[in-house]
Structure 1
Amino acid sequence: MADEQRVLSAWYQGRWWLYLLLPLAWLLQLLACLRRWWLQSRAQPLAASVIVVGNIAIGGTGKTPLIIVLARHLVAQGYKPGVISRGYGGRAPHYPFDVTSLSDPAHSGDEPLLIAMETQCPVVVGSDRIKSAERLIQKFGCDVILSDDGLQHYRLARQFEICVVDGRRQMGNGFCMPAGPLRESPERLLSVDCVVVNGEEPLQTKSVDAVAHMILKPTAWKRVGSDYDGVCQAAVGDQPWNTEDAAVISAITGIGNPQRFFDTLATLGLKVDGRAFADHHAFSPADLAFVGDSPLVMTAKDAVKCRNFARPDWWYLAVEAQIDKVFWETLDNFLENNNE
């Protein structure tokens, strides 16, 4: 962690020209604050509780595993949760669009499809989150709406905000775009109900009261092919491929922070030839022709886009989000008080 932080700091220090963009970053930060005030003053509450899961930094932070474990927790508590999402990487024939485990990722986007497969909860995608939420309420009877990547969608009234922070990258250089990686200033963390740090690293931003840590624990290897959807093939400690023929295996990923996946594979003792694609990349057989007949591993998010042309020796690593007890206590207190 310390080495990575030094590398990150060196990256910013070596790009002195970013400081030339600070006036523009300050202007955009001011506009973001005005936009937030304007939209929040006109937001209309819905006939269901709204829990927003988002971030203030660009790039992947681990929101999807958190959404999945949140939905499962709500079901276990007797609620009827539904998920709304923009559906990045997909183009549906119409909006709002209902996502099921059989949906085409080209229509739904990869993350909404993965959420639908893992939770069996109603999922609706569309740019108008209010219409999507109303559809969940009216068609499916949902009483809790989980808004995926919705922190900056202030037209949607919300009762509980969760901001996910990547433990390694944190706030970067602390500047808003285009001088840094932030959508809003670090002070935004002071107004959310809970900050969830993806990783064991301490949150570097001061004065934030409710902070929990989330660890993505690998649980199993599963075959990518559609014939094996959701079927556990091997425990994570075992390797379902022939290790004698695959001392080094191929690994691909199209997530916001690909290095995190490759590091996870290294902790499992795997030597991989890793190739990173753009976030939400729509994989095709041609992209993976380099693998040949060798084993290939990927994330669950990648697998939903490869399942229709996967080979028998392609696997994805299933993970489960484990979150500090303080997070569940904070959430359950909100749910109890919100329903009084």
Structure 2
Amino acid sequence: MRFREVDGVQVFEPSFEEFQDFSRCISEIERLGAARTGLAKVIPPKGWIARKDYSTINTGEFRIPAPISQVFQGRQGLYEQYNIVKKGTTVHEFEKLARSERYEPPKGNHSDLERKYWKNITFRTPLYGADVSGSIFDDDVHAWNISNLPSILNNMLEEEDVRIPGVNTPYLYFGMWKSTFAWHTEDMDLFSINYIHYGAPKTWYVIPPEHGKRLERLAAGFFPESFASCSNFLRHKMTVISPQVLKKYSIPCSKVIHEAGQFMITFPFAYHCGFNHGFNCAESTNFAIESWIDYGKKAEQCDCHSDSVKIDMDMFVKKYQPEQWEEYKASKMSDSDSSDEDDLPLIEIAKKYSKKTRKSTRCAR
């Protein structure tokens, strides 16, 4: 598979034949080293298209039920993000707002926009049309269709007709200049996939998984009150730390520009964040291949949000790691800190969370 490295992030260009097998393609990308960085860009081959006609998305009928206003508080590269839910609107009206004088992006190249983003992050509160359930891939798209990815996560949950919004079902994201996804790893430290259907680029930052714990310790020191209330507060997706601060504390951070028509893949336990350069429409979900299971077994959840996604790993270990099942089961039984919920089977836990109405937006991509 053809690939190159740009600013520490690998960019892959699979052939049309390689692109047809999603799971094999992801495994090859992982084998070639992208998992060490935690993020990879994938450029689809010529001839592949996600949707033939996007004009129907902007007819006024397609709605964003709960756009959020993102308020940032802080200074000198350390910020907390607060999301205020606003009245629902259409994609057409959201785009008009994003292109208005108040919200339009400043002039300049990608580097100029990045500098202006960090300089003015606390000014001109952006809106984000995040976490909109649904997919806009054409039904006849089979390769890399986010609404229908081959995934051991999907296989397990869909066998029992379980849907966890945004986790094994797709979400749409309508961005504008400065709309932000704060530092986070995915629910249960899963893989994620993000595709920009049309519009302006995104800037992504990523920290290699092997340095994730260092970021957690740094964030705990900078935001002690948040840490005191929840040891996994970064899962709230409310913490924004600039690359300059990370560099000062020797935490490696890579950056990549995500253009329309391209995919981004995040790997298990890779902290990532970023912002949009202007109006765009992206689609995202989570997925898993077998290498995720060891991360899933160790994944930590938020201590204070009752709607944190929790998936019991028993069925995955039994099916894909049968030689480890007895040891894993014994380890679980000896864990004195296990909650009552840990004794529930996978499907009961998944159903519990899929039926909840989330009080705060995931705002993850």
TM-score relative to the length of structure 2: 0.24
TM-score relative to the length of structure 1: 0.25
